[in-house]
Chains A and B, each alone.
Chain A
Amino acid sequence: MSLSNETAPAAGRAWASKEEFIGCVKLTDWILLLILFLVLLGSFHIHYMLLAGDWDFWIDFKDRRMWPTVAPIVAMCFAAAAQSFFWQKFRLPFGATVACFALLVGEWINRYDNFWGWTFFPINLVFPSALIPMGFWLDVVLLLSGSWIVTAVLGGMGWGLLFYPSNWPVLAQFHQATEVDGVLLTLADLIGFNYVRTGTPEYIRMIERGTLRTFGKDVVPVAAFFSGFVSMLVYFLWWKVGGWFSTVKYLENDDV
């Protein structure tokens, strides 16, 4: 005797009514989007914090050479993968922006609740890098061009070039020069030296130094241009990675 389908309202069919189906679709779409958002957040965040985290955590790591080079390149991976999925499978042009937004939600919660709330660093020291304008740019290029190749080339370069200007309105004040005990340094450095961390020693801190700092005015454009170049390459690769993780293949039970 059947335990289920003899009393089902629509035997042999999945849905009892159109209303039930429509209601389920509307609700489940939002739930699936929430699942995608939360997993993107978690995966992107662990990727970003362990590949570019130190530059993103601390104001005294946000220099003109390493930070604008590393952060965009690392962030491009998940932006490209998310675009690959949302664009190829659903023609939705918001993959990069959603990925950046997800990352920033996770970062801001952490910087407030943990960096400030648990270990008492001021928010001025630990605010995350802005990425949303770059996400917009990448999505707009994909939407208008409809081509992932064009997006890799134009979008990738723009992604790298936009990073520093997008962050400059917040960052500029911390790059003001100051003198302490006869040493010239930035306000960002000064804040950092007042909050000693295990990443504080100068042989650990990876920031611009040496002659490039002396010839400082050209460092940012060069770093941004290089970052854009690598971001283009990373986009190509991670568009494919996103496609590969969208696989709907099955293995036979005997295969594993």
Chain B
Amino acid sequence: MSLTTEKAGVSAKESAGSIVNYRPAYLAMAALGTFYVGIRIYEQYFGWKAGLDSFAPEFQTYWLNIMWTELPLEFLAFCAIGGYLWKTRDRNIDAVTPREEMRRLITLIGWLLVYAFTVYWGASYFTEQDGTWHQTVIRDTDFTPSHILEFYLSYPIYIIAGWGAFMYGRTRIPQFANRISLAFLMFFAGPFMIFPNVGLNEWGHTFWFMEELFTAPLHWGFVFFGWFGLAMFGTVLQILGRVIELSKEFEKDVLAI
């Protein structure tokens, strides 16, 4: 009878070695960072060359084709990550050992690191970039070059990362599996709602696009859902709380650091 998990993949070797492994998170961040720098170079060139007139054939070639490719891939990635994590969930989660639970908590922190990294790119880098593009180039479509990379690429990517983090906790860590963390739910669901809010935003922009303020009330839906990023406070506290519970024997040592 398993004392810990029926999930495949937790080998004896893993348990015997160090449980502190952030390398997958570092690799994911390096890959995503490289990817984002690559598309930034792409838009530097093709934004001006082919992104000014949505009725032009080159706009279809260089921009709309990206959108029609990225959206299905993102949907598939979202389903695949959620499906994989659910399919390989721990079916005997209440029997997990403290060491295995700690390893999973550290893996979750790695997921959150990747999520935070993608939130930076989506909410900060590409969102303000969108401001300068639309202050410069009058839009003639909702699917502008900056939108294709902001709304329909960087936002879904952080949603997928947040979804992965949330599902990892829900399927592998007792405190997040047996009940639903309010903070973690808000930390994932709030920024997620920024993406559906694009519907409101673009609907509003169909009324005008010749001149605009970035601070127009139409944009405030993004602000409201962005506030939910602060729910990382509660999420971090819940993780730290459990780490402290599992590390009681070293309480004096950690206070001496």
Whether A and B are associated in the same complex: the answer reads yes
A contacts, CB < 8 Å to B: 1-16, 18, 20-28, 31-32, 34-43, 45-47, 49-55, 57, 78, 81, 85, 89, 106-107, 109-110, 113-115, 117-119, 121, 126, 197-201, 204, 206, 241-242, 245-253, 255-256
Bound CA span A85–B100, Å: 29
Q: Which residue among B127, B131, B228, B233 has the maximum number of chain A CB atoms within 10 Å of its CB?
A: B233
Interface SS majority for chain A: helix
| Smallest beta-carbon distance B168→chain A, Å | 15
Minimal beta-carbon separation of B13 from chain A (angstroms): 8
Closest to A113 in B: B40
Enumerate chain A residues within 8 angstroms of B254, measured Cβ to Cβ. Answer: 21-22, 25
Contact assessment for B113 and A31 in the assembled complex, using a CB-CB cutoff below 8 Å: yes
B60 located at the interface, meaning its Cβ lies under 8 Å from any Cβ of chain A in the complex:
no
| A93 CA to B14 CA, complexed, in Å | 39
- The residue of chain A having its C-beta at the shortest distance from the C-beta of B40 within the complex is A113
Q: Are A106 and B125 in contact (CB under 8 A)?
A: yes
Given A39-B119, A47-B223, decide whether A4 and B183 contact each other with a Cβ distance below 8 A. Answer: no
Measured CA separation A46–B212 after assembly (Å): 17
Does B200 sit at the interface, judged by CB under 8 A? no
Q: Is B15 an interface residue (CB 8 A)?
A: yes
Contact check: which of A15, A22, A42, A121 meets B257 at CB < 8 Å? Answer: A22
Compute how far the CA of A138 lies from the CA of B209 in the bound complex, rounded to whole angstroms: 39
B182 and A11 within 8 A (CB)? no
Inter-chain contacts of B82 with A (CB < 8 A): none
Report the separation of the CA atoms of residues A40 and B44 in the bound assembly, to the nearest whole angstrom.
28
The residues in B between 137 and 165 inclusive whose CB is less than 8 angstroms from any CB of A are 138
Inter-chain CA distance A89–B122, complex, in Å, is: 28
| Min distance, Cβ B181 to any Cβ of chain A, angstroms | 6
Chain B positions within 8 Å of A252 at CB level: 179-180
Q: Quick check: A119 and B133 within 8 Å, CB to CB?
A: yes
Is there an interface contact between A13 and B132, defined as CB atoms closer than 8 Å? no
Q: A35-B232, A198-B212 are in contact. Are A49 and B128 (CB under 8 A)?
A: yes
CA distance A245 to B52 in the complex (A): 42
Whether B2 pairs with A42 at a CB distance below 8 angstroms is: no
**Please, which residues of chain A bring their CB within 8 A of the CB of B171?**
none
| CB pair A10 B99 closer than 8 Å | yes
Q: List 11 A-B contacts (CB under 8 A).
A: A2-B2, A5-B99, A9-B16, A24-B106, A47-B227, A57-B135, A247-B234, A248-B181, A248-B241, A251-B182, A256-B180
CA distance A161 to B253 in the complex (A): 45
Query: Given known contacts A45-B124, A114-B129, is B12 in contact with A52 (CB within 8 Å)?
Result: no
Instruction: Tell me which residues across on chain A come within 8 A of B27, comparing CB atoms.
Output: none
- Closest B residue to A77 using CB positions: B227
Against A, the Cβ 8 Å flags (1 = close, 0 = not) of B216-235 are 00011011001111111110
Chain B residues packing against A (C-beta within 8 Å): 1-5, 10-16, 18-20, 22, 40, 43-44, 47, 97-102, 106, 109, 112-113, 115-117, 119-120, 122-125, 127-129, 131-136, 138, 175, 178-183, 185-186, 194, 210-215, 219-220, 222-223, 226-234, 236-238, 240-241, 243, 246-247, 249-250, 253-254, 257
Q: Counting chain A CB atoms within 10 Å of each CB, which of B16, B135, B182, B249 scores highest?
A: B135
C-alpha spacing A49/B226, complex, angstroms: 11
Given contacts A5-B3, A39-B229, A89-B233, 14 further A-B contacts (CB under 8 A): A4-B4, A14-B102, A15-B249, A18-B253, A21-B247, A31-B109, A34-B116, A42-B124, A43-B229, A45-B124, A200-B211, A245-B233, A249-B183, A250-B182
Q: In the complex the two chains form, is B215's CB within 8 Å of A51's CB?
A: yes
How far, in Å, is B18 (CB) from chain A's closest CB? 7
Docked Cα-Cα span, A247 to B181, in Å, equals 9
Contact B220 A50 (CB under 8 A): yes
Query: Which residue in B106, B119, B227 is a CB contact (below 8 Å) of A28?
Result: B106
Q: B155 to chain A: closest CB distance in Å?
A: 11
**Measured between alpha carbons, how far is A49 from B16 in the docked complex, in Å?**
49
Question: In chain A, what residue has the closest Cβ to B238?
Answer: A248
Chain B: which residue is nearest A20 at the CB level?
B18
- Partner pick for B99 among A15, A113, A241, CB 8 A cutoff: A15
- Using known A-B contacts A13-B98, A15-B102, A118-B129, determine if residue A247 contacts B183 with beta carbons closer than 8 Å: yes
How far does the Cβ of A103 sit from chain B's closest Cβ, in whole Å?
9
* A47: chain B residues within 8 A (beta carbon): 223, 226-227
**Cross-chain contact of A241 among B10, B43, B183, B227 (Cβ < 8 A):** B227
State how many angstroms separate the Cβ of A57 from the closest Cβ of chain B: 7
| Docked CA distance A31–B232 (Å) | 13
Determine which of A5, A57, A242 lies in contact with B214 in the assembled complex, contact meaning CB atoms within 8 Å.
A57
Q: How far is the CB of B28 from the nearest CB of chain A, in Å?
A: 13
- Shortest CB–CB separation between residue B164 and chain A, in angstroms? 15
> Is the pair B117, A53 in contact by a Cβ cutoff of 8 Å?
no
State in angstroms the CA–CA spacing of A201 and B211 once bound together. Answer: 8
